[in-house]
Structure 1
Amino acid sequence: MKRKINLLPFAIITGFVLLINWYVLSGIETLTSSSWLSPIFWGFLIFILASLAYSIQRMRNNGMDIFFKITTHTFLVLMTSELIFILILMIGDGYRLITGGSRSVYWVEFGLALFFITILIFLYGIIKGKYAYRIIKHTLFFDELPEQFDGFLITQISDVHAGSFKNAKAVQKGIDLIKAQNSDLFVFTGDLVNNKAEEIVPWMGHFSQVKARHGQFSILGNHDYGDYIKWETEAAKQANLEALKKHHAEMGYRLLLDEHVRIEKNGQHIILAGVENWGIGFGERGDLKKALQEVNPDDFKVLLSHDPTHWDAEVKKWPSKIQLTLSGHTHGMQFGIEAFGIKWSPVKYRYAHWAGITSANGRYLNINRGFGFLGFSGRVGIWPEITVIELKKTRR
């Protein structure tokens, strides 16, 4: 018996796209009366939609191949640019309704200029932006920090998604930036791969270059478990996870699986704990109680937990104070704006806090924007991040 396909979502999306493009065309027609404009415009749109539909159908057998990526990225860039154009056009039309005049070509020209600028920005994000690594530094003060750890530097990266990388030279530039920080501790907070352990193999030589005086530590993210692809058997899925754990060790990373280690310095110590992925909607595997078993409640603690929803749901109100939690997962949606005092990304509608430092109950959370990329093969406004956190003791 064939499974029925629900065509309603497809019909709604198609109707929405057609409505948007009708309005776009009405704006362009303000500038020209050419009889060729309408058939060329609609012919191009039908070609884009047909290619997208075909690539989605084809994906079931071929996966997300180059044709799928080209069609989906073209559609994404085109729709985003059109929405920018429409926003300007609506402002102009609103002004026209108030004043009673005709549609102004100046609003249309301004909208078209932003349309093409948006396309250029997206092209930069796809070609260069996804490898435009930047260092973000934070200095955090703690009453409980042992004296010997005053000035202690932690470098954090997250969400490598090695299966998405294509440019070895660009990735090496990111590795060189990490190495240049000369930090005391290096941590990786999950999602080493998209789905399969084999994805990291070509890049192990890069990430194994990272060294820190007190070691390199890592945790798993939701993508590392292989939950998002079909496996022939459960045993094959488990074997993939075991291979990935082995690759962590081969790169020189101590993988923390609901456990902790003591970081010693001149007779004093802090606790570094790591949990398996715990995230609302993404699997609640981690066991924080197990990770902190036999830890003195008064110890200074740094926790690695991939999904920031864990901090909101459990960590920030844990009975023994966890002073600093390091997460990733959101990627900042790889799209947004962080400039001119503005910090915005569509991901804010899923995560109230989606990047950088926040605090509650005297505890800090840092969400790294991610080193790699997934889905959208680019970054626009939300650039790949290497975080450097300096721990400082509060002076009274």
Structure 2
Amino acid sequence: MKRKINLLPFIFIALFIFLLNWYTLSGLLVISTSKFLIPVFWMSIAGISGAFIYVLLQFGRKKEVDFLFTSITHTVLILLTAELVLSLSLFLGDGYRLFSGSSRSLYWVEFSFLLFTFTVLLFIYGMIFGKYKYRVIRHVLYFDDLPEAFDGFKIAQISDVHAGSFNNPKAIQRGIDLINQQQADLFVFTGDLVNNRAEEIKPWMPYFSQIRAPYGQFSILGNHDYGDYVQWTSEAEKSENLRQLKQYHAELGFNLLLDSHTLIHKGQQHLFLAGVENWGVGFGQRGDLKKAMFGAENNDFKILLSHDPTHWEAEVKTFAPKIHLTLAGHTHGMQFGIEAFGLKWSPVKYRYAHWAGIKEENGRTLNINRGFGFLGFSGRIGIWPEITILELRRKS
């Protein structure tokens, strides 16, 4: 029996897009009276819409992202976002016009199209420059029970490399150099080395293999590393892909922690460092926290690597024995938002209440890294790629 498709949501989306474009055209008609404007406008919209539907149908068949798919979907994303900004501005102007009884102001319409242009340029900036605009974010964290030998110990964290999205070797080298310049004691990578396939990291291995820290480099897997989002000819092929990815971690000098732990020794004292396989609400729950923490003593200072921050919310922050510090990634800060002038906002907040930076609760601390790479949208706007430096301090 064939599955019935509910067409109502698609009808509402199509109607919304039509009205959005009609409203955009109404603004253009204030600026230009060319007889060619209306047919050219609607022919352009029809052409873009047709191309978008085509690449969606193709993507549904092959489950792979190619240049054509990326180009058209990004064009649609940019234009829709810019039209929304434009329409909001026009709507405010029209609201004032209804109360004042005046006609549409040419100056206000021109201002609205300046906002449209600014939005398009902002997206272009994010796609060309923003996705490689690496920044170092530093946190000093204080703990009562940090071993004295580790007072001042520095951990460098990156997450969500998504190597299959990279296209600029010089920019990647700049990011790697920035990591090494921090001279951290320990390096950790918190998952999603690739988008889907292990082979994506191969061109970039000479770069990421340069990362070194005196007390080692440790890593975990993220939801994309398991190959769940592409079609495989067999389960054996999918399993081989995962095996190969784990081998690449080793060749990079990254020690994978798969529901396991290690001790980081300094003098006569140590840190308990554990890592779990991916565990996330809606993204697979493979990780076994109890297995990873087996053998931990109550007086051990414990650090956990767990890709998805929903794991911390669901299990880690109440786990016994106490896990002092959890390092996660996954959200990317949605690669879009604003963090300036005291503001911190991204649409991702509607999925994750805490989506970046430090959170403390129940005597436990969580850090969410904004990601080193990018996925889906080939850029970043306002939420720049992050290298985190966490300095551990003992409360005096």
TM normalised by structure 2 equals 0.97
Q: CA deviation at 1:9?
A: 3.6
Partner of 2:199: 198
| Residues 348-379 of structure 1 deviation map (CA, whole Å, 9 limit, x = unaligned) | 11000111111101211111010011111111
Q: Distance between the aligned counterparts of 1:311 and 1:30, measured in 2?
A: 53
Distance across 2 between alignment mates of 1:317 and 1:169: 43
Instruction: Tell me the distance in 2 between the aligned counterparts of 1:229 and 1:18.
Output: 33
Could you tell me which amino acid in structure 2 is paired with residue 394 of structure 1?
A: K
Structure 1 CA distance for aligned equivalents of residues 177 and 126 of structure 2: 21
CA deviation string 1:216-262 (max 9, x = no partner): 00000000111111111111111111111111011101000111111
**Structure 2 unaligned residues grouped into runs of 5+:** none
Query: What residue number does 2:20 align with?
Result: 20
SS of 2:16's equivalent in the other structure is: helix
In the superposition, the TM-score normalised over structure 1's length comes to 0.97
Q: Output the CA distance in 1 between the equivalents of 2:365 and 2:147.
A: 17
Q: In structure 1, how many angstroms separate the alpha carbons of the residues matched to 2:352 and 2:341?
A: 22
Counterpart for residue 37 of structure 1: 37
Q: Distance in 2 between matches of 1:62 and 1:196?
A: 12
Letter of the 1:390 partner, please give it.
Answer: E
Partner deviation per Cα, 1:301-355 (whole Å, 9 max, x = no partner): 1110000000000111112211111000001111111112111111111000111
Query: How many angstroms does 1:287 deviate by?
Result: 0.8
Aligned-partner SS, 2:30: coil
Matched, 1:215 2:219: no
Give the superposition deviation at 1:34: 2.3
Cα distance change, pair 306–177 in 1 and its aligned pair in 2 (3 A) = same
Partner Cα separation in structure 2 for residue 183 and residue 307 of structure 1: 24
Q: Which 10-residue stretch deviates more, 162-171 or 4-13?
A: 4-13
Opposite residue 56 of structure 1, the aligned amino acid is: L
> For the structure 1 residues 195 and 372, does the alpha-carbon distance in structure 2 shift closer, same or farther, using more than 3 Å as the test?
same
Give 1:100 deviation, angstroms.
2.4
How far the C-alpha of 1:31 sits from its partner, in A, is 2.1
Query: Could you tell me which residue of structure 1 aligns to residue 349 of structure 2?
Result: 348
Structure 2 letter corresponding to 1:52:
F
Q: Distance in 2 between matches of 1:146 and 1:307?
A: 27
Mapped contact 2:190–2:221 kept (Cα < 8 A): yes
- 1:139 is paired with a residue whose SS is strand
User: How far, CA to CA, are the matches of 1:85 and 1:107 in structure 2?
Assistant: 11
Query: 2:131–2:384: 8 Å Cα contact kept in structure 1?
Result: yes
Counting only pairs closer than 5 Å after superposition, residues 1-396 of structure 1 correspond to structure 2 as: 7-59=7-59, 60-61=61-62, 63-395=64-396
The alignment partner of 1:237 has SS state of helix
Deviations 1:167-196 (A, max 9, x none): 111111100000101100000000001111
- In the aligned structure 2, how far is the partner of 1:81 from the partner of 1:317? 44
Please give the alpha-carbon distance, in whole angstroms, between the structure 1 residues aligned to 2:120 and 2:369. 27
Q: Report the Cα offset of residue 269 of structure 1.
A: 0.8
Quote the Cα distance in structure 1 between the aligned partners of 2:62 and 2:308.
31
Q: Alignment partner of 1:29: what SS? A: helix
What is the deviation of 1:99?
A: 2.1
Residues 30, 109 of structure 2: 8 Å contact kept: yes
Alpha-carbon contact 2:63-2:230 (below 8 Å) kept: no
- Cα deviation 1:42-81 (Å, max 9, x = unaligned): 1111111011111112222483211111100000000011
Between stretches 346-355 and 90-99, larger displacement belongs to 90-99
Query: Counterpart of 2:31 in 1: which secondary structure?
Result: coil
Per-residue CA distance 1:90-110 (angstroms, 9 max, x = gap): 111122222222222222111
Q: Which amino acid aligns with 2:257?
A: L
Question: Are the equivalent residues in 1 in contact too, given 2:329–2:368 (CA < 8 A)?
Answer: yes
Extract structure 1 runs of 4+ deviating beyond 6 A. 1-4
Of 131-140 and 103-112, deviating more is: 103-112
Between the aligned partners of 1:267 and 1:105, the Cα distance in structure 2 is 75
Q: 2: CA distance between counterparts of 1:94 and 1:142?
A: 55
Q: What per-residue deviation string (whole Å, max 9, x for no partner) do you get for residues 125-174 of structure 1?
A: 11111111111111111101111111100000000011111111111110
**Aligned residue identity for 2:350:** Y
Counterpart contact for 2:64–2:230, Cα < 8 Å:
no
| SS in structure 1 at match of 2:379 | coil
